[in-house]
């Protein structure tokens, strides 16, 4: 029986393409929702970000869905925190829903379960299907992992311990047959959140996992978050110049790694295939 989710297709096209491609084999029924979750404003316009999150949650509820799936760490944290606040605070919810009503948007109860893709992929159900359908186990592939800081912290807002939140990406990678090359910065930060305000900080932070992965002889860096993926892929030349290193390491979103193992969307993984 399929697991039904609203899917926020707001990541890079190659990530969303990989997610769509792996969904049937993993029995994920994705109802795509085009909405701005507000995550990109969460640290600069917190009020606007909350309203946008509420609009997204309300839209999901209006479709008769109770679960949201996203490929981004920032969207996961922002939507989970917003849903919790809206569900717990009646006055806040009434104020926000009044604003939504002004623009004809459906209200939200806040009772929406926000899941990150890697958490769903690491469920017993999905892992069993992954094992079953893994046509091309990536047995020779040595990968370093970057878990995405907002998928780990603040753990209080994510609803699990940081230790527990560290595990899902490794489980999925192992199920694909690849082997993990440990790096110190695997629970670190790609810097994406201040890529616009302080690019030199962002580039410095982003270099750390790439350099460590190269130094550890990893053949690819697998990231859990589409935001980390975009940061490390799109700015890799800048990152490399910044540290004066050759960093020609493929960066894969976990959905792309799974797609490789399932042998279903090679075109979205051309950097490593």
Partner 1 sequence: MKVSLAIRRSQGGLEARREQFSVTVRAGATLLDALDQIKDARDDSLAYRAACGSGGCGACGVRVDGRSVLACETPVAPLVDGGHVPVVAPLGNFPVIRDLVVDMEPFWAKHRAIDPAPRVAAGSGAEAGAPDEVACVLCGVCVSECVSLAHDPDFLAPAALAIARRHVADERESERVRAGRLANVAGEHGAGACVACGLCNERCPKGVEPLWSIAELRTLGPGGGSGGAGPLARVRGLLGRGDRSSGSKLLTALRAPDDDDDE
Interacting residue ranges for partner 1, rule: CB under 8 A: 34-36, 38, 41-48, 51-52, 55, 77, 99-100, 102-103, 105, 149-150, 152-156, 162, 184, 188-189, 191-194, 197-198, 200-202, 204-205
CA distance 102 to 182: 51
Write the CA distances from 18 to 31, 141, 188, 189, 230, integer angstroms.
Answer: 15, 19, 24, 23, 14
Cβ nearer to partner 1, comparing 47 with 215 = 47
Shortest distance in whole angstroms from residue 206 CB to partner 1? 10
Terminal alpha carbon distance of the chain: 31
In sequence order, the 6+-apart residues with CB closer than 8 A to the CB of 22 are 28, 255, 258, 259, 262, 264, 265
CA distance 119 to 115: 7
192, 227 Cβ separation under 8 angstroms: yes
Shortest distance in whole angstroms from residue 189 CB to partner 1? 4
Shortest distance in whole angstroms from residue 52 CB to partner 1? 5
Cβ nearer to partner 1, comparing 162 with 267 = 162
Shortest distance in whole angstroms from residue 106 CB to partner 1? 12
Cβ nearer to partner 1, comparing 203 with 218 = 203
Cβ nearer to partner 1, comparing 30 with 105 = 105
Shortest distance in whole angstroms from residue 200 CB to partner 1? 7
Cβ nearer to partner 1, comparing 176 with 212 = 212
């Amino acid at each position: 029986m399929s697991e039904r989710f609203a899917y926020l297709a707001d990541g890079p096209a190659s990530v969303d393409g990989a997610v769509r491609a792996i969904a049937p084999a993993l029995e994920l029924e994705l109802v795509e929702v085009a909405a701005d979750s507000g995550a990109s404003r969460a640290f600069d316009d917190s009020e606007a970000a909350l309203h946008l999150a509420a609009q997204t949650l309300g839209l999901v509820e209006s479709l008769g869905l109770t679960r949201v799936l996203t490929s981004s760490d920032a969207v996961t944290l922002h939507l989970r925190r917003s849903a919790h606040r809206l569900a717990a605070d009646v006055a806040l919810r009434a104020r926000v829903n009044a604003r939504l009503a002004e623009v004809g948007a459906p209200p939200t109860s806040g009772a929406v379960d926000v899941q990150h893709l890697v958490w769903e992929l690491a469920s017993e159900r999905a892992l069993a299907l992954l094992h079953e359908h893994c046509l091309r186990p990536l047995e020779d592939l040595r990968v370093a992992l970057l878990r995405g800081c907002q998928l780990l912290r603040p753990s209080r807002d994510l609803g699990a311990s940081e230790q527990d939140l560290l595990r899902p990406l490794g489980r999925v990678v192992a199920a694909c047959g690849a082997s993990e090359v440990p790096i110190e910065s695997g629970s670190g930060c790609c810097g994406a959140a201040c890529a616009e305000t302080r690019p030199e900080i962002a580039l410095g932070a982003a270099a750390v996992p790439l350099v460590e992965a190269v130094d550890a002889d990893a053949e690819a860096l697998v990231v859990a978050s589409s935001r980390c993926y975009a940061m490390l892929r799109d700015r890799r030349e800048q990152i490399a110049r910044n540290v004066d290193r050759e960093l020609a390491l493929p960066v894969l979103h976990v959905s792309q790694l799974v797609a490789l193992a399932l042998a279903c969307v090679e075109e979205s993984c051309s950097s490593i295939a």
